[in-house]
Structure 1
Amino acid sequence: MVQLTRIYTRGGDAGKTSLGDGSRVPKTCPRVESYGTVDELNAIIGTVRLYTADNAEADAILSRIQNDLFDLGADLCTPEQEEPKYPPLRIAETQVTRLEREIDDMNAQLQPLKSFVLPGGAPAAAHLHLARTVARRAERAMVALAVDEPVSDAAMKYINRLSDHHFVMSRWLNIDHGGDVLWVPGQHR
């Protein structure tokens, strides 16, 4: 278990940070950008959960996702090594398949779309659209990282499914709040 006794270390004052393997890198490197964006996404999910306290199923799903996002951050902050000192925490395929199962379960309760969906509706749904866009930004950062360094297939699948999960969950949460907010092309010309 992690034990934090000091919050500041002064180790990053010169613009560098430590990765999970102990190596030091600039805070602007693609690996730090990737897990930093995942951390931002986790904070948004925390905000979404302020609005799901009365929906035990949604809140439990989002709680699992927050823990998964810490796993993803741990995965991304630890470069692959031939013989690591400690086995690194990596995203597992089971985490991806759980997201897929949840997407399918929620989607089965939804009407087919006849237009694009605008962010809105219930507060949790609107915030999930923000989470969806940050998940896509995290995915782009991970793809950029993967150009030069290995990123696990499971991690890439997870972040890709997660943005879909947020989209479907936002629609699912809007069922009891008037349904989807749909785009009307050219409505205000």
Structure 2
Amino acid sequence: MVRIDRVITRGGDAGETSLGDGERVSKDSVRVEAFGSVDEANACIGVLRLHLGCDGEADAMLARIQNDLFDVGADLCVPGDAAGRLRLGAGTVERLEREVEAMNVALPALRSFVLPAGTPGATHAHVARTIVRRAERRVVALAREQPINPLVLRYFNRLSDHLFVLARRLNLPAGGDVLWVPEGNR
């Protein structure tokens, strides 16, 4: 279990931090940038949860996702194949896929691109989706330089799909998607 006795350690005052295996790296290293972006995505999902109203099902899904993102951060902060370290599993990715499929059943087929707008919950889901995509790009950059758990990349791809479909679901009671209207049709 995690135990945090001190918040102020002064260990990062010179621009370095420790990875999960104890290695010291620059705070702007590609690995730190990757798991820092995961943390940012997690915080944004926390804000999204504030805008769900009484949607307990969506809140429960997002609570699981926030815990998943801590698992992802733990996975990314330990390079290599350290035995006994937390690694994201295939079941987590499969759960996201099932949730996307279940939400999508009740939605009409798309006939246009969707604007990131609508209800407060839907709009925050779109913001979270774009931050998740940025985190995914950071993880891709890390994967080019160092080996990572390939399930992390799959997870981010599914998570952005999840947030897109959730935004559509959250807009449904308010009349549905806010659709793109191309120039010449506006």
Shorter-chain TM band: over 0.9
Aligned-partner SS, 1:20: coil
Measure the CA separation in 1 of the matches of 2:157 and 2:178: 23
Matches of residues 98-113 of structure 1 in structure 2 within 5 Å?
98-113=95-110
User: Is 2:97–2:158's contact at 8 Å kept on the other side of the alignment?
Assistant: yes
Aligned length: 186
Corresponding residue of 1:137: 134
Identity %: 58
Measure the CA separation in 2 of the matches of 1:188 and 1:30: 43
The TM-score with structure 2 as length reference comes to: 0.96
Q: Which runs of 5+ in 1 are unaligned?
A: none
Corresponding residue of 2:180: 183
CA deviation after TM superposition for structure 1 residue 114, in Å: 0.9
Measure the CA separation in 2 of the matches of 1:11 and 1:74: 19
- CA deviations over 1:135-160 (Å, ceiling 9, x no partner): 11111111110111011111110011
Counterpart code for 1:177: A
- 1:116 is the counterpart of 2:123: no
Matches of residues 47-126 of structure 1 in structure 2 within 5 Å?
47-81=47-81, 84=82, 87-126=84-123
* 20-29 vs 2-11, greater mean Cα deviation: 2-11
CA deviation after TM superposition for structure 1 residue 2, in Å: 1.1
Aligned-partner SS, 2:142: helix
User: Is 2:51–2:124's contact at 8 Å kept on the other side of the alignment?
Assistant: no
User: In angstroms, what is the RMSD of aligned CA positions?
Assistant: 1.3
Over 2 Å off, 4+ runs: none
The TM-score with structure 1 as length reference comes to: 0.95
- CA deviations over 1:87-109 (Å, ceiling 9, x no partner): 11111000000000000001111
Q: Which runs of 5+ in 2 are unaligned?
A: none
CA deviation after TM superposition for structure 1 residue 4, in Å: 1.2
- CA deviations over 1:13-56 (Å, ceiling 9, x no partner): 00000000000000111100000000000000000110125111
Aligned-partner SS, 1:25: strand
